[in-house]
Amino acid sequence: MKENKKNTTKKQSSGFSFRQFISGEFLTNSLLSQNFWFILFVVVLIMATMYNKFLTEKVINNINKTKQEVNRLKAISVSNTAELMHLSKESVVIKMVEEEGLKIKPLKRPPEKIVIKEERK
């Protein structure tokens, strides 16, 4: 008779059921109380991993936004450079001067270099 009681108590304590989880009996289990610090350590590690993943995703999103901004600014720079090259052509400058009504005419002959010789004392 005593053996039957021991077998039934072993079956109840060694098993883990949904009823024990809902009622909270699993918290009083000796196995759980003996490994409390290990379980807490594992939970902290899991939380640290999740936080690290969150920060990594945030950094990756910032990198992607910065890359998009750099690409946009590169496109603006290229278009401004092309426009500047177009506006600095001699023919375009002549047209702009004529449209403004300025009395500036292009040179007929190329400019000459002026060299000043120093006098010896």
Q: What's the mean pLDDT when you consider all of the chain?
A: 85
CA distance 86 to 103: 22
pLDDT digits (tens, 9 = 90+) for 32-85: 778 888 989 999 999 999 999 999 999 999 999 999 999 999 999 999 999 999
> Does the pLDDT value for residue 87 go beyond 70?
yes
Determine what percent of the chain is predicted with pLDDT higher than 70: 84
Contact (CB, 8 A) for 21 and 32? no
